[in-house]
Amino acid sequence: MADMVSTLAWPRVTGIVSDLDGVVYRGKNAIEDAVEAFKAWQAERIPFCFVTNNSTHTAGDVVSKLRGFGLEAGEENVVTSAVTAAKLIRQTYPAGTRTYVIGAPSLKKAITDAELEITDRQPCVVVMGLDREITYEKLTIAVDAILKGAVLIGTNPDLLLPTPTGFEPGAGACLTAVSTAARVKPIIVGKPEVHMIEAALSRLGTDRASTLMIGDQIPTDIQAGKRAGLCSVLVTTGVPPFDDPSLLAPDFTVSSLKQILLKR
Ligand SMILES: [Mg+2]
């Protein structure tokens, strides 16, 4: 492991982009090594930004949780798929664009904060995140709107989410139902796409080649990091990894973030 640490120290790491669930915490519980590692990097003044596919929490919710674990962070340190989705829509569509939202209150807040109009009447855009109150009626409105020309945007493609007792369907599962019925390919905002990584890089202002992407999932975190040109580190504290030779491999694998010793 000594080798890995010295290798990770080169090239010089100037910034960190990191996943949250399975990396900094598992559900409600902190992963102590990760919290200590982030504090050590913070003491070295290495900037970091978290990127989360979860659209059901605002950046403010995430910051409260991190502070509860003793990690000092601000909303500028958190990029969510909900806010990134809203910004992506506004790159193409003007303020007031009719948007149908299937998702949590945090996604609806991101959409209205971006000055888009939430409506189920003749929407131009359908955006879908995780909605634990999803109904057949909501799916019908989405499919019908898309067949009439609306664009389909998904906050993230995650099919399964771990729960304390097993798994529940993720946002990607319902997104697949709608995209399959309407026979369209959705625009995906979250990892493995690079939109959130690019948003994080522009906040950090660091060079991508000297920025680490840390995550616990190869199909999302590591693919996004590699595609965006970051040095990508898999940490085995979250979802158990599985071998898929069609996916890009991480540059490094660690079992604890404390193995990543960084000096400014
Ligand atoms: Mg994760």
* Average of per-residue pLDDT across 166-187: 96
Report CA torsion sign: 103, 109, 114, 117: positive
The pLDDT, as a whole number, for residue 3 is 44
**Ligand 1 centroid – CA 146 distance (Å):** 30
* Average of per-residue pLDDT across 216-230: 96
- Say which amino acid occupies 128: M
Tell me the pairing of strands 78-80 and 25-26: unpaired
**Ligand 1 centroid – CA 151 distance (Å):** 28
Q: 2-53+191-259: what CATH class?
A: alpha beta
**Ligand 1 centroid – CA 32 distance (Å):** 16
For residue 92, pLDDT beyond 70:
yes
Mean pLDDT for the chain? Answer: 94
**Tell me: the pLDDT tens digits for 22-79?**
999 998 999 999 999 999 999 999 999 999 999 999 999 999 999 999 999 999 999 9
* Average of per-residue pLDDT across 154-168: 91
**Ligand 1 centroid – CA 52 distance (Å):** 8
Whole-angstrom CA distances from 38 to 58, 93, 182, 253 are: 21, 37, 44, 17
Distance CA 225, CA 108 (A): 27
**Ligand 1 centroid – CA 22 distance (Å):** 4
**Ligand 1 centroid – CA 123 distance (Å):** 32
User: Is domain 86-188 given the CATH code 3.40.50.1000 in the classification?
Assistant: yes
- Higher-confidence residue: 167 or 188? 188
**Ligand 1 centroid – CA 147 distance (Å):** 34
To the question of pTM greater than 0.85 for the whole model, the response is yes
Where exactly are the structural domains of the chain?
A: 2-53+191-259, 86-188
**Ligand 1 centroid – CA 228 distance (Å):** 18
**Ligand 1 centroid – CA 125 distance (Å):** 28
**Ligand 1 centroid – CA 21 distance (Å):** 4
**Ligand 1 centroid – CA 7 distance (Å):** 24
**Ligand 1 centroid – CA 160 distance (Å):** 12
**Ligand 1 centroid – CA 115 distance (Å):** 30
**Ligand 1 centroid – CA 148 distance (Å):** 36
**Tell me: the pLDDT tens digits for 107-145?**
999 999 999 999 999 999 999 999 999 999 999 999 999
